[in-house]
């Protein structure tokens, strides 16, 4: 469902609450390409509350790297706007919010440097991506700063989530991602955020 449409940007909801696809209009001429990657007014209107970016991160990955699933405890919470500046990724938003109607479900999007698109993930959602090209550069614009003890890491190969990671060879992963617990283990330990704590207030 389309939530916002302007001359330069369109925002529509995907299948999980608070996961949005942000598509920018590209203005091309003989010099190349120009597009907006973020508009506070458009994204805030779509989300239903102000979206303030306070930290921007960039990762560079070679082909075959798998990062995630990473989320953040709520509170404090952290929403993200994820875009691919170079290369291409399979990008996943995973619902980690206990009580959500889509708990444990995922949305997969292909992001690349040519699409002028980004995925917004609200608070309490997990994020992962698989790099499909060498020198892939991903940007994360975050609504809260990084706090190591608030990070939630979930096994990307958890069969209860079922990410479609049918890969030609084992991915390159960090030790923390390789040894990450399952969604069920985190649920039983009480480490997952609640859906109600993550939802924006009613308009």
Query: Which tens digits make up the pLDDT trace of 112-160?
Result: 988 889 999 999 999 999 999 999 999 999 999 999 999 999 999 999 9
149 lies in some domain = yes
In percent, how much of the chain has pLDDT > 70?
A: 98
Q: Is residue 181 a part of any domain in this protein?
A: yes
* 70 classed as catalytic: yes
Q: Does the residue 130 lie in any domain?
A: yes
Identify the active-site residue in 38, 106, 130, 140.
140
Give the total number of structural domains in the chain: 1
pLDDT at residue 202 greater than cutoff 80: no
- Active-site hit among 70, 120, 127, 195: 70
Calculate the average pLDDT of the chain: 94
Structural domain including 83 reads 2-196
Q: Which two tokens stand for residue 33?
A: 């390409």
Q: Where are the beta strands (DSSP E) in the chain?
A: 2-5, 9-13, 19-24, 27-29, 32-34, 55-61, 66-72, 80-86, 88-95, 106-112, 117-121, 125-131, 136-142, 151-153
Residue 134 included in any domain: yes
- Does the structure show a pLDDT above 60 at 203? no
Q: How far are the Cα atoms of 31, 38, 66, 157, 179 from residue 175, in angstroms, in the given order?
A: 43, 33, 11, 14, 6
pLDDT (0 to 100) of residue 188: 98
Residue 24 lies in a domain: yes
- From edge to edge, which strands make up the β-sheet containing 117-121? 2-5, 9-13, 19-24, 117-121, 80-86, 136-142, 55-61
Would you say residue 126 lies in a domain? Answer: yes
Calculate what percentage of the chain has a pLDDT beyond 90: 83
> What pTM did the predictor assign?
0.93
In a domain, 82, yes or no: yes
DSSP class of residue 10? E
Q: Is the peptide bond before 91 cis (omega within 30 degrees of 0)?
A: no
For residue 140, indicate whether it is catalytic.
yes
Task: Assign residue 63 the CATH number of its domain.
Answer: 2.60.120.10
Q: What pLDDT sits at residue 200?
A: 65
Flag whether 46 is in a domain: yes
pLDDT tens column, 68-91: 999 999 999 999 999 999 999 999
How much of the chain is helix, strand and coil, in % rounded to 5?
Answer: 10, 40, 45
């Amino acid at each position: 469902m389309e939530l916002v449409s302007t001359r330069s940007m369109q925002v529509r909801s995907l299948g999980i609450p608070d996961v949005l696809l942000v598509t920018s209009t590209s203005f091309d001429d003989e010099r190349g390409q120009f597009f907006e990657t973020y508009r506070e007014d458009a994204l805030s209107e779509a989300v239903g509350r102000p979206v303030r970016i306070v930290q921007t991160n960039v990762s560079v990955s070679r082909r075959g790297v798998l990062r995630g699933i990473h989320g953040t405890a709520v509170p404090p919470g952290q929403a993200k706007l994820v875009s691919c500046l170079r290369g291409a990724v399979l990008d996943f938003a995973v619902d980690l919010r206990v009580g959500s109607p889509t708990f444990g479900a995922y949305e997969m999007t292909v992001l690349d440097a040519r699409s002028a698109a980004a995925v917004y993930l609200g608070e309490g959602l997990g994020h992962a991506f698989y790099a499909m090209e060498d020198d892939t550069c991903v940007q994360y614009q975050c609504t809260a700063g990084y706090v190591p003890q608030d990070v939630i890491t979930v096994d990307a190969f958890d069969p209860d989530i079922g990410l479609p990671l049918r890969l030609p060879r084992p991915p390159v992963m960090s030790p923390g991602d390789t040894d990450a617990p399952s969604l069920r283990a985190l649920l039983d330990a009480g480490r997952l955020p609640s859906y109600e704590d993550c939802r924006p207030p009613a308009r």
